[in-house]
Amino acid sequence: MTPLPAPVESDLATLNRQVRILVHRLVELEHLNAQLRQQAHHDLLTGLPNRRLLADRLGVGMARARRSRRPLAVCCLDLDGFKAINDQHGHAAGDVVLVAIARRLEQIVRAEETVARVGGDEFVLLLDLDQAGDLPPVLARVRAAVQAPVDLGWRTLQVSASVGHVFYPGLGGDDVDGDTLLRQADRAMYRAKNRVRDPIPRPPTEARHALPLQVARDGRGPDDLRHGI
């Protein structure tokens, strides 16, 4: 083979170098775009889905529940006394607790289910169930996971949580949107938290009659009762 003239070889080497630089920059750009997509849909501290991704996952879960006629449980979880952890031990300690709780909750849910962080110490779980009666054992595991000690290195901390939940579809049928479900679960969570703060025992007769009144006001049935943990 006749050698190429030196100027042509030089031009090819320059072109090859420029192509390599371009490919490298394209790879860097793709990595940057992937990071931006991750940040747009995930919580920066825990890596869990944020509100935006939760809304997408909730829509998918509701559609799946309508097709299968199996309930989707929307559960709001709020850590009790978390502000005191930040005040007494610092925000770095609070971050360690949040990350630990996030990892534990991820281990409880299945791959097709969702754990999202939607606020400072508030999480949302989307759980696909075969029947409503499957939820209490899952919530028991959630309670155990949250209450397990968190090792800070120099000491351990324990927290608890209040949880409220709603089912979809509920007694009201399919005619409800995701935002409404989240609001209902959030209100249920705060009712559970208030019961822990200021429990008011009621006579059995009153308690038996309270449920139908609550159903009439909220349009939800006995299976939609929220459980505080």
Selecting among 121, 128, 186, 224, the annotated active-site residue is 121
* Cβ-contact 164, 225 below 8 angstroms: no
Candidates 173, 161, 179; CA nearest to 226 is 161
**Beta-ladder partners of 193:** none
d(C-alpha 133, C-alpha 33), whole Å: 43
Whether 224 is catalytic is no
* Cβ-contact 160, 80 below 8 angstroms: yes
β-pair type (150-151, 156-157):
antiparallel
Q: Classify 132 as helix, strand or coil.
A: helix
Candidates 155, 153, 161; CA nearest to 227 is 161
For the chain, the straight-line distance linking the first and the last C-alpha, in angstroms and rounded, comes to: 81
Q: Which residues are catalytic?
A: 121
